[in-house]
Structure 1
Amino acid sequence: MNYTENYRGVKIDVQSVNLDISEVVQKEIRTSIDKLSKFTQDINAVDVYFKTEGTGGTAVSIVGMRVGIPGPDVFAEEKGQNWVPLLKDVVEKLIRQLKKGK
């Protein structure tokens, strides 16, 4: 499931391989953008990647997020089990990068 939306002037591009992204996860993506916007007002685009590696009990979920800002983009990725906590961890990593860049 891939989809694109415009949220508060930020182009969101979500890519997921053979996965459906629930409304809860979509809402968390929007919340994440709100959090990131507190640290920089210049976000042009956000690319979010969801994928699963492995099968059965050994499957690992991976979330990556690229934030398009003037200058070099920031990117973070996290591996784990549940999408929403992974998104929150990725946002924390991105916030640290944005703080360093100021």
Structure 2
Amino acid sequence: MNYTENYRGIKIDVQAPQVDVPTGLQEQIRKSIDKLLRFTPVINAVDIYLNVSGQGKTAERILGMRVGIPGPDVFSEEKAKDRWNTMLRSVVDKNVRQLQKGK
């Protein structure tokens, strides 16, 4: 499932070719953007990639997030068997650390 949304003037592009994105995750993405806005004044776009690698018990979830800001974008990725919301929080925290460093 892929979808694009405009939230507070920020283009959100979610690409999830093998995953149905739950409504709760969509709301969590918006809350994550609110958190990122505390650390940077301008976000132009947020691209989120959701994928599942493998099958059954060996399946691994992959979540990547690119935050488009003036200057170099920040990107982080998480691979785990956790829930999507847990992985999203981890990725957002990684991006916050990059924003704080000024990358």
Instruction: Tell me the TM-score normalized by structure 2.
Output: 0.96
Runs of 4+ displaced beyond 2 Å: none
| Distance (whole Å) between structure 2 residues aligned to residue 41 and residue 7 of structure 1 | 15
Alignment correspondent of 1:37: 37
The aligned length equals 102
In structure 1, the residue matched to 2:75 is: 75
Partners of 2:27 and 2:35 lie apart in 1 by 13
CA RMSD of aligned residues (A): 0.9
Structure 2 distance, partners of 1:59, 1:99, is 33
Gaps of 5+ in 1: none
Letter in 1 for 2:15: Q
In 2, Cα distance between the equivalents of 1:79 and 1:38? 26
Q: Which runs of 5+ in 2 are unaligned?
A: none
Q: Which residue in the other structure is 2:94 paired with?
A: 93
Separation of aligned partners in 2, 1:101 and 1:95: 10
Percent identity over the alignment? 61
So what's the TM-score if we normalise by structure 1?
0.97
